[in-house]
Amino acid sequence: MIKGIIFDFDGLILDTETHQYLVLQEIFSEHGSELPIIRWQQEIGTQTGFSPFKHLEEKLERKLEHQILQEKFEDKYHSILAEEKARAGVEDYIKSAKKMGLKIGLATSSTYQWVSTHLKNLNLFDYFECIQTSDDVEKVKPDPALYLQTALGLGLAVEECLVFEDSANGALAAKRAGMSCVIVPNQVTHTMDFCAVEHRLESMTDMLLKDVIEHVSSSLSNR
């Protein structure tokens, strides 16, 4: 029986990932190059230490002013995010979970400062009973630690948790933790090669939360 839901943040609640990629692609294009989506997808939902501007340097075979590029990126990226709303259906799912008496958690490979700031801007912060971030674990997704610690913080067994994810790394982390997972990919993750999950939605507006839970619970009971 599902007693709690755990959300990813970047790309799922707020589509930071698509805007991040588009702004980087704009900078690459200004230098007569491109950042292949397949290469960028490897970085989504995890932390590898990949530097897009070092990658651009290698492609151009010449030195670049990283600080100038970083400042340009951040100015454009943050100005876009300041105006961005939560993805369609997200707020309805969170409020529905609250009404249903479900526990609500968040597990992200980003920092606490990053997610808490944006959740507060979206007026969603107070709904979350447990937030686990890269500050809390040694290894981020696809390692299962973030999801295991979130379940622990919610006081739930892993089989009582339903995860919502948008990336392949995130979905893999959820499944490695022994949890059910529904994926809701965004513009830059929809072509990813996902592991086996319980369900896929193009948008949270496609199904009511109670129907998603009923679908997942039914598939689990039939195994």
- Burial class of residue 112 in the structure, from the number of CB atoms within 10 Å of its CB (0-12 exposed, 13-18 middle, 19+ buried): middle
Report pTM: 0.92
pLDDT tens, position by position, for the chain (223 residues)? 999 999 999 999 999 999 999 999 999 999 999 999 999 998 888 888 889 999 999 999 899 999 999 999 999 999 999 999 999 999 999 999 999 999 999 999 999 999 999 999 999 999 999 999 999 999 999 999 999 999 999 999 999 999 999 999 999 999 999 999 999 999 999 999 999 999 999 999 999 999 999 999 988 777 6
Q: Write down the H helix ranges in the chain.
A: 16-30, 37-41, 52-60, 66-81, 90-99, 112-121, 145-154, 168-176, 209-221
Which residue is listed with tokens 């249903």? 100
Q: Under a CB-based contact definition with an 8 Å cutoff, are residues 13 and 86 in contact? A: yes
Active-site amino acid positions: 8, 10
Closest CA to 181 of 152, 137, 141: 141
